[in-house]
Structure 1
Amino acid sequence: MFKLSVCLLTFNSARLLEEVLPPLLQVADEIVIVDSGSSDRTLEICQRFNLTLHHHSYSMHGAQMNYAISLATHDWVLCMDSDEILDDRVVDYILALKAEKDPEIDLAWRLPRYWYVLGQPVRTLYPVSSPDYPVRLFNRTQAQFNDRPVDDKVVGQIRCIKMPGHVRHDTFYSLHEVFQKLNGYTTRLVKYQNIKPSIGRGVISAIGAFFKWYLFSGAWRYGKVGVVTGLYATFYSFLKYFKSWYAQSDRMPLMKEETHKSRVSD
């Protein structure tokens, strides 16, 4: 039987935390909670469950999760976000897994994660389909999260197995959060990745995203939630190119001025 550290990231997570924690407490030998500055009832709820928060400034999701992993006592870790809720089948599977002999350290498990937007299940949310199967249970000596600014994942010398069950990923619970995350994700993408600055490419990409993620995916069948997921894909596809173009246009006058100064000094 191996010991399991659950690593949980929080930030203003009071909305779901009382549903998230009980199943995690069933499978965890310890819970490491890393909070990035909550101002709601997150701390109060954790204290009620006799859990301690570690405070750490947020840069990117992968880096934050790796920090939580570094605080764990045990090498086997289950990495969770505070909008993900394990069902009984996942809990039972993990408990049965722990009751067996120690697994080979290069094994890892994928959670069956089903996406919810505005409280309703969805089939697609750009750039993933639901369910998706992120690697979340692994031995930290063999793997860790990469440093991608958006859609990071676990990488390492591992062999992956899918768990049965249902993990409710209750994301985007309001329109405000939809647009807030849309803005944050695209800003980080432009900042940390080489996105070609082009409004034309952005328009073409947005049109393609609308057809693929709203019409062809069948999102149009799901009323307001389908419209939200379709527009999210469309705006995301456009904004990453537009923000790159805008950032480059801001840099161009400065570059010209520096070039002129250099020529004058020569």
Structure 2
Amino acid sequence: MFKLTVCLLTFNSARLLHEVLPPLVTVADEFIVVDSGSTDKTLDICHDYGLTIHHHPYSMHGAQMRHATELSSYDWVLCMDSDEILDAETVEFILALKAGSEPEANHAWRISRYWHVLGEEVRTIYPVSSPDYPVRLFNRIQARFNDRPVDDKVEGNLQTAKIPGRVRHDTFYSLHEVFNKLNGYTTRLVKYQNIRPSIARGVISAIGAFFKWYLFSGAWRQGKVGAVTGLYATLYSFLKYFKAWYAHNTKQGAVMEKHTDSRQV
């Protein structure tokens, strides 16, 4: 038998918390909530469940998760986002796992995560297929979240297994949320990764994404939701190159202006 800390990240998460929290409370021996500045009823709901909230400014998802695991009293952690809902089969597996002997430190488990967009389950959401299987239950001494600006993951010398069941990832719940995340993700990607500044490359990438993530994936069969996921993939593929191009030219213009000013002096 071993103890498990649940680490949950929140930010204006009231929409789903009454579905997210009960299964997590069931498996938790300790519960760490790290909030990055919620202004809705998130904090009130967490207090209703008797949870202590730790406030921490958000930089990147991986850094936020690492902060949460550092607050844990136990080495074994289950790291979740506030739009991921465990089903009964997943909960039963985790409880049975905890009741057995403590695993080797290099063992880890992946959740079976099924993506929902605008309330409907989808087969793909750029750049992943659904379900995907991220590592979420692991020994914090052996592994940690990396610093990728988008699509971060747990890294370490691990032997992983898949948890049965279905974890509902109820993300992109409105059209506003789709475009908000599209803008945020592409901006972070350009800021922290070396993206080639090229509009032409962006156009080519967008065309390829449209065919791969809308036509070939079968997303077109899902009507308006498929159109949204196809558009998301297309715009994401274009914007990361366009924003890199824009930032590069803005920087070059500033350098030239500074050089011109210095010559005039």
TM-score category, normalised to shorter length:
over 0.9
Instruction: Report what 1:191 is aligned to.
Output: 191
Once the two structures are superposed, what CA deviation does each residue of 1:74-115 show, in whole Å capped at 9, x if it has no partner?
000000000000000000000010111110010000000000
Q: 1:126-205, aligned counterparts within 5 Å?
A: 126-205=126-205
Once the two structures are superposed, what CA deviation does each residue of 1:197-249 show, in whole Å capped at 9, x if it has no partner?
00000000000000000000000000100000000000000000000001111
Amino acid at match of 2:89: R
Q: 1:264 deviation in Å?
A: 7.8
Structure 2 CA distance for aligned equivalents of residues 46 and 95 of structure 1:
22
More deviation in 235-244 or 249-258? 249-258
Is it true that 1:81 corresponds to 2:81 in the alignment? yes
Structure 1 CA distance for aligned equivalents of residues 95 and 127 of structure 2:
32
Q: 1:184 deviation in Å?
A: 0.2
State, as a whole percentage, how many aligned pairs show the same letter: 73
Amino acid at match of 2:256: K
Amino acid at match of 1:47: H
Q: 1:222-237, aligned counterparts within 5 Å?
A: 222-237=222-237
SS at match of 1:103: coil
Amino acid at match of 2:152: D
Structure 2 CA distance for aligned equivalents of residues 30 and 119 of structure 1:
31
SS at match of 2:115: strand
Instruction: Report what 1:24 is aligned to.
Output: 24
Residue ranges of structure 2 left out of the alignment (5+ in a row): none
Once the two structures are superposed, what CA deviation does each residue of 1:112-148 show, in whole Å capped at 9, x if it has no partner?
0000000000000000000000000000000000000
SS at match of 2:7: strand
* TM-score normalised over the length of structure 1: 0.98
Amino acid at match of 2:4: L
Give the alignment's Cα RMSD to 1 decimal: 1.1
Is it true that 1:111 corresponds to 2:134 in the alignment? no
Q: 1:262 deviation in Å?
A: 6.6
SS at match of 1:184: helix
Structure 2 CA distance for aligned equivalents of residues 138 and 109 of structure 1:
7
Instruction: Report what 1:240 is aligned to.
Output: 240
SS at match of 2:51: coil
Amino acid at match of 2:72: A
Structure 1 CA distance for aligned equivalents of residues 162 and 46 of structure 2:
30
Instruction: Report what 1:35 is aligned to.
Output: 35
Once the two structures are superposed, what CA deviation does each residue of 1:10-47 show, in whole Å capped at 9, x if it has no partner?
00000000100000011100110000000001011011
Q: 1:258 deviation in Å?
A: 3.8
* TM-score normalised over the length of structure 2: 0.98
Amino acid at match of 2:118: L
Q: 1:261 deviation in Å?
A: 6.0
- Indicate how the Cα distance of structure 1 residues 259 and 114 shifts in structure 2: closer, same or farther if over 3 A, else same: same
Structure 2 CA distance for aligned equivalents of residues 253 and 119 of structure 1:
44
Structure 1 CA distance for aligned equivalents of residues 254 and 126 of structure 2:
35
Q: 1:259 deviation in Å?
A: 4.1
Amino acid at match of 1:167: V
SS at match of 1:14: coil
Structure 1 CA distance for aligned equivalents of residues 98 and 44 of structure 2:
30
Structure 2 CA distance for aligned equivalents of residues 253 and 218 of structure 1:
43
